[in-house]
Amino acid sequence: MKKVAVLGATGAVGREMIRILEEREFPLASLKPLASAASAGKTIRFRGEEIPVEEAKPEAFAGCDIVLGAAQNPVAMRFAPDIVKAGAVFVDNSSAFRLDPKVPLIVPEINPEDVKWHQGIISNPNCTTIITAVGVNAIHRISPIRNMVVSTYQAASGAGQGGLEELEGQIRALADDAPVSIKYFRYQLACNLIPEIGSPVYEEYTAEEMKLQNEGRKILHAPDMAVSCTCVRVPVMRSHSISATIRLERPLSVEEARAAVAAAPGCRLVDDLAQHRYPMPLDTSDQDLVFVGRIRRDLTDENGLCLFICGDQLRKGAATNTVQIAELL
C-alpha cells in the first residue's frame, strides 16, 4: 500500500487524478493533497472523507511513496529535487522533464517497459500526444510510421478550469446578447476557432505543435519520425480530436488497420461511415478509451492512411494516464 500525494490537487487535472484514484481503487494507504498556500485548508473529498489540502513545501513530501504532479512547469521543477530526495517517485504531468533523456516518457498501452529505467522522475506526455499515440500505435507496430501530417481540434479543457469557465461564460453572454469576456484565450472562443496554441518555437510552429513529433518519437521509439502539426482551439468543452494522415514504411490496407485498432488496448474502433458512426468529442468525454475511425486510404501516398481520433483530454490525456503510470510502479 502506497502513500500518495497529489501536487496541484485543487486544479482541474489534480481533482481529476484524485477522482480516478478512487474510481480505479488504487491501492494507497493515504492520500495527501498539496497545493499553494492560498488553497491550504480547503478540503477534497476522497473515499467518503474530507481530506484537508496542505501547502506544498519541501518537507511536505516526507514519507510519500508516489507524488502525482498536476502543477505547471515552475512548480514541478521547484519541487522535483525535494520529491526525489524524500525517496518518492514523481509522476509529473507538466512538460518540464518530458524530453530529458534520463526521464521516461510513458503511455502504459505503448511503452510500459520504459518505467524500469526511471531515476525518481517519470513524465506524463502532452494530452494530444497521448491520444494520438494510442490511436496510431497498433498500426505503427505493423508498419512503422515515417511521418504524419496532423491537425488537432483541442477543447477548452486543455486550458484548465479557467478555459472551461470562459467558454461557458461566453456562450451564456452570446445567448443573452451581453458583452463577451476574454481572459484565458487570445480571442473569443465561442462560435470561433483559434489556430494558435502555445508560443512559436521552430519555423513558425508553436511549442504545442512540436510536442507531437518530439514526444511521439520518444514514446513510439521512432527517433526519425517527422510530424507537421497544426493545433487549433475549438469551442468544445471536453475531449480533443485529431485528424491524422500517417505515412508508413510499407502499405497497409484499410482492413488491416481497422483490425489492428479494434484489437489495440485503450482503443475503440468507431468506423462506419454508412451508418454515420465516427469518433466525436461528446461520445469520448468522461471516459478513458481513445476512439478511432474514418480510416481510409491516403490519396496522395500509396503508403498512407487517414484517420480521425478522439479522446478525453482531462482523463486519458492527463489524469488517467498519470494514475496508470503509478499503477505500473
Give me the active site residues, please.
127, 240
CA distance 23 to 136: 27
CA distance 154 to 103: 27
- Contact of 199 with 207, CB cutoff 8 Å: yes
List the Cα angle 7/11/13 in 5-degree steps: 80
Handedness of CA 92, 94, 99, 100 (dihedral sign): negative
- Contact of 266 with 317, CB cutoff 8 Å: no
The amino acid at residue 193 is L
Handedness of CA 247, 250, 255, 260 (dihedral sign): negative
CA distance 115 to 107: 10
CA distance 156 to 248: 32
Joined grid coordinates for residue 134:
494510442
293: helix, coil or strand? strand
**CA nearest to 145, candidates 304, 282, 266:** 304
CA distance 264 to 157: 26
134: helix, coil or strand? helix
What is the 3-state composition of the chain as percent helix, strand, coil, each rounded to the nearest 5? 35, 25, 35
Neighbours of 297 (CB within 10 A): 15
Joined grid coordinates for residue 37:
498556500
